[in-house]
């Protein structure tokens, strides 16, 4: 079955899909989503399809363990108190993935784009490379502020704000946003 076309990307074809993958991976942490969200490689396949990242997992338990470790490091980048700490973690990820950037064109994504590891690298290293790149590019592009924690009631999920003026406040406007607006409405009605 052909893949759906990629939507327009405010942050670019190399940054936005990789950043969306990183955000979705981070949100599988119990600290973000409330329960363990990464229990099999099938979750990684789903994250890849939703974020337009086409690497194929090896479907091993070791891979799931490696990606759980990676998601904690990515969340550490988001929560770091200083840019120096963010740079340290990102550079550590690049080194551990043996990152070697290459410009490629291939199916199912015929647009020129970067791969950050060799084609025969382990899936976990490929994901390390692209997510470290995305985090680094967001910093360099002065767009790191677009990684936000939802302001919804009892929600701690991370999201990438891709609105032009960066005003989004909720991970999902239909759930978290509606809860806040409903609570405010009820509060005004009782007052």
What is the reported pLDDT for 10?
Answer: 65
What is the reported pLDDT for 132?
Answer: 95
Helix (H, G, I), strand (E, B) or coil at 80: coil
Q: Give a yes or no: residue 21 inside a domain.
A: yes
Contact 126, 117 (CB under 8 A): yes
Q: Give a yes or no: residue 4 inside a domain.
A: no
Overall number of domains in the chain: 1
Q: Give a yes or no: residue 5 inside a domain.
A: no
pTM of the model: 0.84
Q: For every one of its 191 residues, what pLDDT tens digit does the chain have, with 9 covering 90 and above?
A: 555 555 556 677 678 999 999 999 999 999 998 899 999 999 999 999 999 888 899 999 999 999 999 999 999 999 999 999 999 999 999 999 988 888 888 777 777 878 888 888 899 999 999 999 999 999 999 999 999 999 988 899 999 998 888 899 998 866 786 655 555 545 666 66
Sequence-distant (≥ 6) Cβ neighbours of residue 144 within 8 angstroms: 135, 138
Q: What is the CATH number of the domain that holds 51?
A: 1.10.3300.10
Sign of torsion, CA 83 176 16 98? Answer: positive
Can you give the residue range of the structural domain that contains 110? Answer: 16-190
Q: Give a yes or no: residue 7 inside a domain.
A: no
Q: Give a yes or no: residue 179 inside a domain.
A: yes
Q: Give a yes or no: residue 65 inside a domain.
A: yes
Q: Give a yes or no: residue 156 inside a domain.
A: yes
What CA–CA distance (Å, rounded) separates 43 from 45? 5
Q: Give a yes or no: residue 9 inside a domain.
A: no
């Amino acid at each position: 079955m052909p893949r759906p076309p990629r939507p327009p990307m405010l942050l670019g074809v190399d940054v936005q899909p990789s950043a969306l993958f990183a955000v979705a991976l981070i949100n599988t942490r119990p600290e973000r989503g409330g329960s363990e969200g990464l229990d099999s490689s099938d979750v990684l396949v789903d994250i890849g399809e939703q974020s337009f990242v086409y690497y194929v997992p090896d479907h091993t338990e070791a891979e799931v363990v490696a990606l759980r470790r990676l998601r904690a490091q990515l969340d550490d980048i988001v929560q770091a108190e200083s840019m120096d700490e963010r740079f340290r973690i990102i550079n550590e990820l690049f080194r551990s993935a043996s990152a070697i950037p290459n410009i490629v064109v291939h199916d199912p994504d015929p647009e020129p784009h970067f791969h950050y590891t060799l084609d025969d690298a382990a899936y976990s290293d490929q994901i390390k490379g692209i997510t470290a790149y995305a985090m680094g590019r967001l910093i360099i592009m002065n767009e790191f502020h677009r990684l936000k924690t939802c302001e919804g009631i009892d929600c701690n999920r991370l999201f990438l704000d891709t609105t032009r003026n960066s005003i989004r406040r909720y991970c999902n406007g239909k759930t978290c946003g509606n809860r806040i607006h409903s609570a405010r409405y009820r509060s005004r009605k009782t007052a």
